[in-house]
Amino acid sequence: MTIPAIRIEVNGELVAVAGAKDASLLTASLGLGAGAEKDLAFERPVFSVMALVGVAGDAPRQLSWCDHVHLRKGDRVTFELVEVDEATPPSKALSTPSSTELQAEAEKKGRRK
């Protein structure tokens, strides 16, 4: 069974094929950031490749790829929409609290009864 994925290359070099079987969202973005009192700058690139998985279940997670990639002015980033049998394993997986866990935490802190 194939899955939708995003193939990511930087300067012609493959860095990842991001995708997951139970993803409800798969996104890749590139931008420039600014500090509190600064203008946009090439020194602060924003590069994100992530997926949300298991949203309908008890253990939703946020997966990310390319966390190790540091871009510079002149770098060429290519995103290609593909179908693959197997994607690159994510570099990071963060658990997302379920609505039940969030409610229990709020009740514990006295915010909701």
In SS3 terms, the chain reads as CCEEEEEEEECCEEEEEECCCCEEEEEEEEEECCCCCCCCCCCCEEEEEEEEECCCCCCCEEEEECCCCCCCCCCCEEEEEEEECCCCCCCEEEECCCHHHHHHHHHHCCCCC
What's the pLDDT at 75?
Answer: 95
What's the pLDDT at 56?
Answer: 75
- Work out the burial of residue 50: count CB atoms within 10 Å of its CB; fewer than 13 is exposed, 13-18 middle, 19 or more buried: buried
pLDDT tens column, 11-29:
999 999 999 998 999 999 9
What's the pLDDT at 40?
Answer: 84
Beta bridge pairs of residue 93: 63
Q: In what order do the strands lie in the sheet with 45-53?
A: 23-32, 45-53, 61-65, 92-95
pTM of the model: 0.79
What's the pLDDT at 109?
Answer: 84
Range name among 8-17, 87-96, 104-113 with the lowest pLDDT average: 104-113
What's the pLDDT at 53?
Answer: 92
* CB of 4 closer than 8 Å to CB of 26: yes
Give residue 66's domain range: 3-108
| Domains: count for the chain | 1
Cα 24 to chain centroid distance, Å, stands at 12
Q: Does residue 62 lie within any of the structural domains?
A: yes
Q: Does residue 113 lie within any of the structural domains?
A: no
Q: Does residue 13 lie within any of the structural domains?
A: yes
What's the pLDDT at 88?
Answer: 96
